[in-house]
Amino acid sequence: MTTTADPRSSTGTSREPLEQVRRLVTEVPGPRSRALQERRLAAVSRGVGSTLPVFVERGEGAVLLDADGNQLIDLGAGIAVVNVGHAQPRVVDRVQQQVADFTHTCFMVTPYEEYVAVCEALVRLAPVDGPAKAALFNTGSEAVENAVKIARHATGRDAVVVFDHAYHGRTNLTMAMTAKAMPYKKGFGPFAGEVYRAPMSYPFRDPEGMTGEQAAARAIAVIEAQVGADQVACVVIEPVQGEGGFVEPAPGFLPALAAWCRENGALFVADEVQTGFARTGDVFACEREGVRPDLVTIAKGVAGGLPLAGVVGRADAMDAVHTGGLGGTYGGNPVACAAALGALEAMADLDLVGAARSIEERMVPRLLALKAQRPGIGDVRGRGAMLAIEVVQTEGGVATLAPDAAGAAAISAACHAAGVVTLTCGTYGNVLRFLPPLTIEPALLDDALDVLETAVLSALAG
């Protein structure tokens, strides 16, 4: 319980490592966080929100140290970003070295090896058939935008197909691709055209017994009738949906869609921004069913907390764009690339794929035990270290499909007050999601689960 995240100093200074324990010394948020929140409200746009107004001073492993000296357990990992743990020494060392060497030249002006090395690693890892190539950007939204640009060039077609509950970003094109109006789209239109939405496979809410193949047939019928098979440039899908509620499609859904794309000359684009880099217990979530996308979008977990994103895919599609057609000032920034090389090394050295599977084995039985005690937990789902519970209203002690966003919020608030960072998500806001750093120690995870259990038992009726 009192071990530390990593024996190596991750900072280049002599300060003590952050003990991997939860420890509250004030209420949460404490007085210093509250004072910072006052300053923030005066200077920062109201348009940017925060899940919990606790100001962080330091992070290591799966622990965040706040401005009041509280140590919180991080079950969010900055929304599935620090898969390798906060202040991962391999990331910190490479970043410090790179900052001292050079911070920017712009790859479009004078290139550097780190960008190439990251693309080589992505090409090696991506579950793509045949030769692959990659290009780097800054954010997940940008990666998705560029995947669409590439797909349009490669196919000579316009239409983009996305799904119910999808989340692909906040830029104009990706807002059109994202499903949920509040908070992502409301009042921000008009949105980009040629984006069409098909029904998702959502086992908890679909008719009982609907297979993945049947759900795919339902989606394909909509695409063929409302878009036309020969108009589709790409079908873009999160293999396990993130912001939309950690919706894991029924087995067979993704392979059937990928096969339809192949037969109809459309590109199958896996948005692995949230699911990538060992999060789901595979390097990429598509691998679980052997799906071979044409393009994969990546971001978040690739660089251990620095902003880096990319598209990796079939070389013929990636090369369909004219030279100069893809880019951006900071895309593949050398410091972010150095971080990625450290994070990818950590993913392999620390067997984070195995670690994600161990987290699933440790968490799922406890979540199922809670479900058995509280019918308001309608569903336990997800894979690896991307797990969720969907909170619903009950009728006579039996779960219904009516979302209970207030219940999910109450559980989350109780976790926050006890020093555990939890996030909610879902089209109906009623899903609690768990995304710990994959390096979280078992004892720390158990402590977080104890807190969650207390929160669920008090927030939901038996």
Among 75, 273, 336, 421, which residue interacts with ligand PLZ (rule: CB under 6 A)? Answer: 273
With vertex at residue 217, the alpha carbon angle to CA 213 and CA 221, rounded to the nearest 5 degrees, is: 170
Asked if 222 and 229 count as a contact pair (C-beta separation under 8 A), the reply is no
Smallest distance, Å, CB 397 to ligand PLZ? 35
Q: By C-beta, is 377 or 388 nearer to ligand PLZ?
A: 388
Q: By C-beta, is 240 or 347 nearer to ligand PLZ?
A: 240
276 binds ligand PLZ (CB under 6 A): no
Residue range at the interface with ligand PLZ (CB under 6 A); choices 163-171, 185-193, 216-224, 226-234: 163-171
Pairing of strands 267-271, 232-237: parallel
Among 20, 274, 422, 424, which residue interacts with ligand PLZ (rule: CB under 6 A)? Answer: 274
114 binds ligand PLZ (CB under 6 A): no
Smallest distance, Å, CB 141 to ligand PLZ? 3
Q: By C-beta, is 155 or 178 nearer to ligand PLZ?
A: 178
Smallest distance, Å, CB 124 to ligand PLZ? 22
Q: Distance between CA 301 and CA 132 in Å, rounded?
A: 20
For ligand PLZ, the nearest residue by Cβ is 140
Give me the helix-helix angle, 352-373 and 334-349, nearest 10°: 70
Smallest distance, Å, CB 303 to ligand PLZ? 11
339 binds ligand PLZ (CB under 6 A): no
Q: Distance between CA 268 and CA 254 in Å, rounded?
A: 10
Among 67, 95, 144, 377, which residue interacts with ligand PLZ (rule: CB under 6 A)? Answer: 144
Smallest distance, Å, CB 176 to ligand PLZ? 13
Residues in the chain: 462
Peptide bond into 183 cis (omega under 30): yes
Q: Which residues pair with 232 in a beta bridge?
A: 159
List the end-to-end C-alpha distance of the chain, in Å, as a whole number.
Answer: 32
243 binds ligand PLZ (CB under 6 A): yes
Q: By C-beta, is 299 or 341 nearer to ligand PLZ?
A: 299
Size of residue set near ligand PLZ by CB under 6 A: 16
Q: The dihedral of CA 406, 410, 415, 421: what is its sign?
A: positive
Show the tokens assigned to 460: 């939901």
173 binds ligand PLZ (CB under 6 A): no
Q: Is 221 in a helix, a strand, or coil? A: helix
Instruction: Tell me how far CA of residue 74 lies from CA of 82, 131, 180, in angstroms.
Output: 10, 38, 26
Instruction: Tell me how far CA of residue 107 lies from CA of 220, 254, 299, 304, 344, in angstroms.
Output: 40, 35, 18, 21, 21
Show the tokens assigned to 293: 């996308």
Contact set for ligand PLZ, span 279-338 (CB under 6 A): 299
164 binds ligand PLZ (CB under 6 A): no
Q: By C-beta, is 71 or 333 nearer to ligand PLZ?
A: 333
Binding characters for ligand PLZ, 124-143, by CB under 6 A (x = yes): ---------------xxx--
Q: Distance between CA 405 and CA 409 in Å, rounded?
A: 6
Smallest distance, Å, CB 56 to ligand PLZ? 17
Interface residues with ligand PLZ (CB under 6 A)?
79, 139-141, 144, 167-170, 238, 242-243, 271, 273-274, 299
